[in-house]
Amino acid sequence: MATVDHPPAGRQPAAIRSALTVLEQVARAGPGVTARELSAALGMSPATTYRLVNLLVAEEYLVRLPDLRGFALGRKVVELAGAVAHSAVPAGAADAVAELRSRVRLAVHLASLRHGRLRMLDPDPDHPPSADAVLARHLHASALGKLLLAEQPDWLALTPGTPADLRQLTPHTVGRPDALELELDRVRGDQVARQFGELRTDRGCVAVPVRDPDGTLVAGLAVSGNPDRIAALAPAVLRLVERCAHDLARLLHRSPA
Q: What is the mean pLDDT of residues 23-32?
A: 80
Predicted pLDDT of residue 247: 93
Whether 183 and 165 map to the same domain: the answer is: yes
140 in a structural domain = yes
pLDDT in the model for residue 163: 47
CATH number at residue 63: 1.10.10.10
Indicate whether 208 belongs to any domain: yes
Looking at the fold, whether 151 and 191 belong to one and the same domain comes out as yes
pLDDT category at 228 given cuts 50, 70, 90 is: very high
- Say which range, 7-11, 45-49, 190-194, has the weakest mean pLDDT: 7-11
pLDDT at 255 over 70: no
Identify the H or E element spanning 172.
Answer: none
Residue 1 lies in a domain: no
128 found inside a domain: yes
The pLDDT of residue 184 is 95
- Taking the C-alpha atoms of residue 174 and residue 104, their distance in angstroms, rounded to an integer, is 27
Distance CA 137, CA 210 (A): 22
Q: What is the mean pLDDT of residues 51-68?
A: 83
Same-domain status, 191 and 238 = yes
Q: Is there a single domain that holds both residue 140 and residue 18?
A: no
- Residue 30 in domain: yes
Residue 114: alpha-carbon gap to chain centroid: 15
Residues 192 and 228 in one domain: yes
Please indicate whether residue 253 or residue 29 has the higher confidence score (pLDDT).
Answer: 29
pLDDT digits (tens, 9 = 90+) for 154-212: 787 666 544 445 778 889 998 888 899 999 999 999 999 999 999 989 899 999 999 99
Q: Who's near 158: CB < 8 A, 6+ residues apart?
A: 116, 139, 148, 149, 152
Same domain? For 86 and 56 the reply is no
State how many domains the chain has. Answer: 2
Domain range spanning residue 54? 12-73
Same domain, 170 and 232: yes
Question: Do residues 31 and 145 share a domain?
Answer: no
Q: What is the CATH number of the domain that holds 141?
A: 3.30.450.40
Q: Is residue 5 part of a domain?
A: no
**pLDDT (0 to 100) of residue 241:** 96
pLDDT tens digits along 95-147: 999 999 999 989 999 999 988 888 888 998 888 888 777 787 788 999 999 99
pLDDT digits (tens, 9 = 90+) for 77-93: 766 665 544 446 787 89
